[in-house]
Every structure is written in C-alpha cells, then in structure tokens.
Chain A
Amino acid sequence: MLTIDNLEKSFKKNKALDCFSCEFEHGIYGLLGPNGSGKTTMMRCICDLIKYKGKIDCGGAKIGYLPQQFGMMKSLKLFDMMKYFATLKKIPTPEQDEEIKRCLELVNLYDKAKDKVGSLSGGMVRRSGIAQAILGDPEVILFDEPTAGLDPEERTRFKTMLKSIGKNKTIIVSTHIVSDVEAVCDKIVIIDKGRKKFIGTNEEVAAIASSKAYLVEEKFEGILSGNYYIKDRITRNGENYLYVLSDIPIENSIAAQANIEDGYLCALKNI
C-alpha cells in the first residue's frame, strides 16, 4: 500500500503538486491527467528523485519505476543492462538470469537479450524499460507513459502483462490516454494542476459524465450555453453532429452513452 499525504512540490513559482493526498491499495491505478498536470512529478516524488513537502509512505516496499524518458547505454547488450539493474536491485546472482528471462519474456524481448541496446528500436527500448521496472518483482510499480512509442500490438501486450503481474501489487500507470487504462485499471485517479480531482473505478469515472453527454446537430452550436465542452464532431446519417459534454440539458439533442473519457473530461472541465 502506498499513502501520499499532502504532497507539495513547486518548481520556482509553479506549483506542480498542490496538497495531493491519496491512498493506493493493491491494484492497478490509472493516473490520468493532461500534460503538465503533475503526474510525472508525483512519480518522481514517490521514487524520491526530487525533494518535496508532505509525506509518502510505501511501507518499505520495493519500487519499480519506468521513467517518462528512459534510455540505456547503447554499447551494452540488453542482457548486460538488465544484469546491471538486477545487481542494483539486489537480486541474488544465481537467480538473476532466470528473473531477467521472465521479465524480458513478459515484454516480448527475450530474443533480443543478446543484442546491443543501440540496435533496438525506440519501442523495444521502452519495453526494456518496462522489463527493468518489473525486475525483482517490486511491490510498487510506477509506469510513466508506458505506452508512448509502442505499436498497437505491443500496447495490447502491455495491458495483458499489467493484468498478469498486478496481483498483490500497487501499480500506477500514468498517462493522458484514457484507452490505455480503461480496460486494465481497477481505479482511476484524475489529476489536474497538481491536485487530485477524482478517484474511483472505471464506472464511477464514467458516471461523472452520465446525463452530461449529448449529440447536438451542428447548426445548433450557437444555442449552447452554460458550462460545456465540445469533445468531438461526428457525422451520422449524413448529418453533422457535435459531441458535447454539458452540465445543463441541451434542447434538440440526443443523449449519448457517457464513457470513461467523458467522465475524465467532465472532471477536468468541472462539468
């Protein structure tokens, strides 16, 4: 379990985290927020990479971390690089090879173990970053934008992997792409401007937008009022529609089925 209490972090005059408190039980958490909302800063605070105010308690659990920007030493073989991390994580030497194999297989990179890091593609390096984060079976794993640079197949593989390793662990996946988390996360934490906006299950997030999602013909755009947000423009049966999230009912509109992304946007836009 990971407890964050009144976490504050400022970069000069900009508050990156503002009294952020949250309790993360075992499970997979999606940390959703727009760019600059404080997701990376929060993860770096948890890993003690930067100074902060407030309290973070992970009960002495081992932490695995995939930073937003991750690279490896290009002249080293992937396996040697993993060995370096394994030693750093105090994995006993006789167990290292087996553990490295397990992690590389999980990210579908075991066949590249003997290759030099410099010969790997950007996506492969990202996956090797995921592998080093889960190396040593840490109790708390933080993934910062894990799917950035991954192709659709690998994104799917990552989600499957998350499910397989997520038992009895606290995993936080930071992203601004809702689809990355909606299928796999037990809970979603919405963060904006360094503050926690919402925490709940997928359904609870989607519920934020219930009765707030509408399809409005484009010609009625001018009558929109109150607090609203045009999420999309779509064409249905030859007619152009706006997908609108609004805190007040819209006349001449069709109610739409709200999803997690709608809930996330409503939370962000205070709709």
Chain B
Amino acid sequence: MIKKSFKLFFKMPRILIPAILLIIFQATALIYYLKSYSINGDVFLYILNSFSNCLISFIIIFYVSYEFFYLLKRSKIDEAIYANRNGKIKTLSSMAVVLTTIPALEFLIMFLFELGVILNSGMTDYSYIVHIASVLFLYIFLVGLIPIFIGAIFALKFKRIGSYSLAALIFFILSDISDILFMVSQKIEINLWVIKYFFGYILPNDLNSMLLQLDTYGIPGEIYRWNLVLFWIFLLLFFYILICKIKIKKVRVVSLSLAGVLAVINLVGYFKGGSHYEFGPQLDSISMESYYYNKYNKPKTMDADFSVEKYDMKLNIWRQLDAEINMKLSDESLNSYNFTLFHGYRVERVTDSDGMELPFDREGDYLTVHSNKNTPSLNIKYSGYSPILYSSSQGCVLPGFFPYYPIPGFYDFIKSQSYTPILDLKKAEFKIDISSPRQFYSNLNSEEQNKNCFIGKTDYPTLISGFFRDDPDDDYKIIAQTVKELGIDELDAKYIDEIKKIIEEKSKDEDIKIDLNNITIIQVPYYIINGFYTSGLVYFISDDQLFITFNEEPIKDEEAEHIIRAKKLGYKKYLYDEWLKASGVEYPNLS
C-alpha cells in the first residue's frame, strides 16, 4: 500500500510541487547559508540559520498533509476504500508514511549539510555532531510529524474553511507574531506565555535572534521540549487511531491505550519542568527576571555573622539543578543563619547535623534558617534553575559569583535588569559531586576516578558544562568552547602563551604576580556577559580563575593589559572603573 500511496502522491501536482519546493527551498537556503559560513566560519550561526525556516516547513507540511488526505474526501473515493477490510487503516497509515518522508528528507539534507560544515570547521568535539543530529531529529523530523497528523485529522474530520481557520490560529500561536500576547499579558498581569509555550515550544523559537549566542549550549533541546513534542505527537496519534477505526478490537484498544499513556507521560514530563533556557528579544530572560524582581523582590543587604568553612555539595544536573548541600559553619551558636540563594531554587528541606528539620524563611533570593540549639552544620536540599545561568543535561554555566549555592549573608545582586557578581566572598573548602550525563569543568580540581567530582579551596566555585573542552596535557588549565563562533576561536595554549609573554613584559615593573599556569582560564560564553553587569575585556578574575572570551590577534595586547589591571586593582575595582569608562556612570553597586 505504501508503494501505491507513493504513486498517488507523485501523481498529485498540487501536493507534490509544494513538497518538492519545500525540499528545494531548504537545500537552497542551506547552500545560501554556506556563503555566510565561508566568510565568518561560525558553525553555530550556520545551524541557527538553518533552523530559521522551521515555521515555513511546518506550514507547508500541514498544507501537503491536509490536501493529500482531503483528496480522499474531495474525490469521493473514501467510502469505496474504507469499505474494504482494514481499508481505512491501511490507506491512512500508508499515506501518513508517505508524508513522513518529507520531514525525513529535510532531516537528512540538513544533517548532511551540518555534518559537512562541522567537518570543514576542523572541530574536534564530536559530541556536537550527536547534538546536531538529535536536535535536527527533534525539530525537523519529529516536529514535522505534527503538521502531518494535524493535516490528516483536519482533512478527515473538518471542512476546508474550518480546517484552514484552525490551522491559521495554530500558525499564529507558533509564530513570533503572537508574542504580542506577551505584551498584553504583562498589562493584564496574566501570564499568557504558558499557553503560548504549550504550542510554541515545539519549534526552536527565537533562534532568529542574534542578540544572544548559544554556542556552548547548542540548540535548546532539553528534555521538556522532547516531552512536549512527543506529547503532541502521541495525542494526535491517539486521535488519528480513533479516526482510522481499527477493526480488530484488541489492536485498537492496545494502540489507543499506548498512544494515550505515552501522551500523558510526556505531558507530565513537560509540566515537571526543568531548566528552561529562555532567550530572544520577546522573552529576554533578563527582562523576565527584571519583571520578577520589580514585582516580588525586596532587596536586602546584610553581612553574615558566620562563614561556611566547608561545602559538601551533591548536585544532580539533568532536567534542572537538584542540590543537597552540607555546610560546616564557622559559628554554631547563632539563632539564625542568613544566606543568599537564587530565587529560582525551591528549598525543600533544611536539616541540622543530627538530621532534624529546621524552620526556614524563604523570601525571594534570601534564605534564613532558624535554630535554637548548637548548629555545627546545615544540610539544605533545593532544586530549580535560572533562566539564564542554565543547568541541565545539555549544559551548565554556574559562575562562582552567582548564588547557585547558599552564600552567607544577604546580597542585592540584581540591578536594572542584570545580575551583578557577588564579590568579596570568603574562601571555603569545597567538594562538589555532580551527577550528570555531561562532562563538567571547574576551577576546582577533579578527582582522578570521578571527573565530575571537584575538590579544593576557593572563593568562587565555578561549574561549566556544554560544548567545552579542557586539555590536561597543556601547560595551562584552559576550559575552552569547542564550537566555532563568529570572531571567536577556540582558546588555546598558544594564544595564552603569547598573552603570558606580553603580561610578563608589561608587568615586569609592577608588583604583581600573574601566574597563568596555575589558574583556570575559562572561555566564558558571550551571553553570560550579556546577563551580567560587566565591562572590559576581563569578565572575571580571582586567585584561581580568569574569565575571558576572545581569542583574537588584534586585541591580544589589550587583553593582556586588562588582565594586568584587573589583577592590580582587584576585579571589583577594575569592573567599576571599566563600567564608568564605558557608560559614564558609576557601577550600580556603588549607587
């Protein structure tokens, strides 16, 4: 039947031509994007571009599917076909299989192009190929099944005008145009984004935005997105099976139950949530954060009467950050312990060293634990995520100056839509044991047996994961991004060697010591800087880590100078000076 349905498909110009045009369009677009790739060499930009036609593809596949299935009704052949034993299921499923070849072809073509670009770029991180294959499979192939099912169900159940009207509504919700709803929702204070995303997340939305780059994160393909796409597929499959009217009761019941159960499981999975990395001009994570802070946050500042001597952290980073932190406190006699912990983390439980639950207050970014007896240590269990400092199975960027772990004292670290680094932290012993499918990197040293377990003393425990690599054989401990980005090459030992020479030369008369061999040099993603109030070429520097982004010959000297100055002044002063220089106003923390 599939062969016959293919023949049918090929004989229908009104559906065959749009399908062919779609494939040609995708291939042409991919060739066209090669032109810009040949200029900028940005592998990630290439995939961003290739995803930009997802909605067009969605609409065309819907049209093709609708018209293909509607043909049965329009040509009045349907009853003659359905009257045959299993005629309906055979015909409808073979037609669906035929249509499946469209997203399958799109997937194949796009993957081949992406593969070519990756191999051409000389990238050595082959996990990127797996990532690209998986997101293409998700957004091109699996998402491509959704308009097939919608088209089929509409064609078999509704009239043409109703179908296209309903489809237009779906396209509207999927498109960026419907972001206008967000504006409305802000005014009426009802979060309509929940509805928008229930449909909209099936497409890699906002990828057209070049404001933020996600090269170390890749294309967002988190588990909840898979859940959502699979939910729609199984839900539509459920209705499709209903329409197909499978005659054998056992088969019907089993297939319906299976589709129904899988739809429910995925729906639960979607609402179970996880680290949502939100970006783009419409839903700028920072402005969303700003919205939160404007509405709910009452900033506090208070020095802690204690410090944490040792953190024993067990982090489970899959859908989001699930943390269990054991802290050895410097002062066990206090009645309350104040911490700053990002509001995106929900504190589940606080216990003392005896395992007794302690009462606590959670207010925005602040956590106050109460105790009426000696408390040598605290155990805090929490989970959640930040929309910009993501932590999921796809990647993780948690700088040590961000309160992803309880930091003693109250800090106001949000100013005018941006985070500010929490600085002047005291050094503590850390043991961070991470359970995740990905390799993690840190300024702390990892254990021999368990590369995702980090131990050491630091003031800023930074955790990084995603498309990064480190090279233990290098003279330096460099954590570099592996995806070629426009204007940014992979940070390597050769470049640091050159920087080192310049620093040595320029700082020979200065009373400072910059030992690049003994600190962790992290090539931080650009969008982290975007989310923070930073300025200058050094994005952070402490005793054991240095955040820089660029690896460019022309700014090498300047970069070295900045490192000297940041080290000389201390990062806080450097940051404030650079900010004042760049913006003409004082750094927000000073105001």
B194 at the interface (CB under 8 A from A): no
Bound complex: CA A48 to CA B79 (Å): 10
Report the stretch among A7-15, A60-68, A222-230 that lies at the interface.
A60-68
Given the known interface contacts A73-B12, A88-B87, the answer about A80 and B7 at a Cβ–Cβ threshold of 8 Å is yes
In B79-113, the 8 Å CB interface with A consists of: 79-85, 87, 90-91
Evaluate contact between B79 and A44: CB separation under 8 angstroms: yes
Instruction: Please name all residues of chain B whose beta carbon is closer than 8 Å to the beta carbon of A132 when the two chains form the complex.
Output: 80
Give the Cβ gap from A143 to chain B, nearest Cβ, in Å.
12
Instruction: Please name all residues of chain B whose beta carbon is closer than 8 Å to the beta carbon of A76 when the two chains form the complex.
Output: 7-8, 11
Evaluate contact between A73 and B80: CB separation under 8 angstroms: no
Bound complex: CA A88 to CA B78 (Å): 12
Instruction: Please name all residues of chain A whose beta carbon is closer than 8 Å to the beta carbon of B84 when the two chains form the complex.
Output: 63, 85, 88-89
B75 at the interface (CB under 8 A from A): yes
B13 at the interface (CB under 8 A from A): yes
Evaluate contact between B12 and A75: CB separation under 8 angstroms: yes
Give the Cβ gap from B95 to chain A, nearest Cβ, in Å.
11
Contact with A along B1-17 (1 / 0, CB 8 A): 10110011001110000
Bound complex: CA A71 to CA B81 (Å): 11
Evaluate contact between A88 and B81: CB separation under 8 angstroms: yes
Contact with B along A50-67 (1 / 0, CB 8 A): 000000000000111111
A38 at the interface (CB under 8 A from B): no
Instruction: Please name all residues of chain B whose beta carbon is closer than 8 Å to the beta carbon of A48 when the two chains form the complex.
Output: 83, 245, 247
Give the size range of B's interface with the partner.
20 to 34
Evaluate contact between A71 and B77: CB separation under 8 angstroms: yes
Q: Which of A62, A80, A85 contacts B80 (CB 8 A)?
A: A85
Evaluate contact between A87 and B11: CB separation under 8 angstroms: no
Evaluate contact between B80 and A133: CB separation under 8 angstroms: yes
Q: Which of B3, B4, B71, B77 contacts A70 (CB 8 A)?
A: B77
Instruction: Count A-B pairs with CB separation below 8 Å.
Output: 71
Bound complex: CA A47 to CA B83 (Å): 5
Instruction: Please name all residues of chain A whose beta carbon is closer than 8 Å to the beta carbon of B11 when the two chains form the complex.
Output: 73, 75-76, 80
Give the Cβ gap from B526 to chain A, nearest Cβ, in Å.
53
A72 at the interface (CB under 8 A from B): yes
* Residue total for A at the interface (Cβ-Cβ under 8 A): 29
Instruction: Please name all residues of chain B whose beta carbon is closer than 8 Å to the beta carbon of A71 when the two chains form the complex.
Output: 75-77
Instruction: Please name all residues of chain B whose beta carbon is closer than 8 Å to the beta carbon of A129 when the two chains form the complex.
Output: 80
A195 at the interface (CB under 8 A from B): no
Evaluate contact between B79 and A47: CB separation under 8 angstroms: yes
A84 at the interface (CB under 8 A from B): yes
Bound complex: CA A133 to CA B8 (Å): 20
Evaluate contact between A87 and B71: CB separation under 8 angstroms: no
Instruction: Please name all residues of chain A whose beta carbon is closer than 8 Å to the beta carbon of B79 when the two chains form the complex.
Output: 44, 47, 49, 65, 67, 69-70
Contact with B along A97-115 (1 / 0, CB 8 A): 0000000000000000000
Instruction: Please name all residues of chain A whose beta carbon is closer than 8 Å to the beta carbon of B245 when the two chains form the complex.
Output: 48
A83 at the interface (CB under 8 A from B): yes
Evaluate contact between A72 and B77: CB separation under 8 angstroms: yes
In the complex, what residue of chain A is closest to B2 when comparing beta carbons?
A87
In the complex, what residue of chain B is closest to A48 when comparing beta carbons?
B247
In A248-266, the 8 Å CB interface with B consists of: none
Specify which of B1, B7, B75, B80 lies most central, judged by the most chain A CB atoms within 10 Å of its CB: B80
Evaluate contact between A84 and B8: CB separation under 8 angstroms: yes
A74 at the interface (CB under 8 A from B): yes
Bound complex: CA A65 to CA B7 (Å): 24
Evaluate contact between A88 and B76: CB separation under 8 angstroms: no
Q: Given contacts A65-B79, A70-B76, list 11 more A-B pairs with CB under 8 A.
A: A47-B79, A49-B79, A63-B85, A70-B80, A73-B71, A73-B77, A75-B11, A76-B11, A83-B4, A88-B1, A88-B4
Q: Which residues of A contact B (CB under 8 A)?
A: 44, 47-49, 62-67, 69-76, 80, 83-85, 87-89, 129, 132-133, 142
Give 26 CB contacts A-B under 8 Å.
A47-B82, A48-B247, A49-B83, A63-B85, A69-B79, A70-B76, A70-B77, A71-B75, A71-B76, A71-B77, A73-B11, A73-B71, A73-B77, A74-B75, A76-B8, A80-B11, A84-B7, A85-B80, A87-B1, A87-B3, A88-B1, A88-B4, A88-B81, A88-B87, A88-B90, A133-B80
* 10 tightest Cβ-Cβ pairs between the two chains A and B: A71-B76, A65-B83, A47-B83, A67-B79, A71-B75, A69-B76, A73-B75, A75-B11, A84-B4, A87-B4
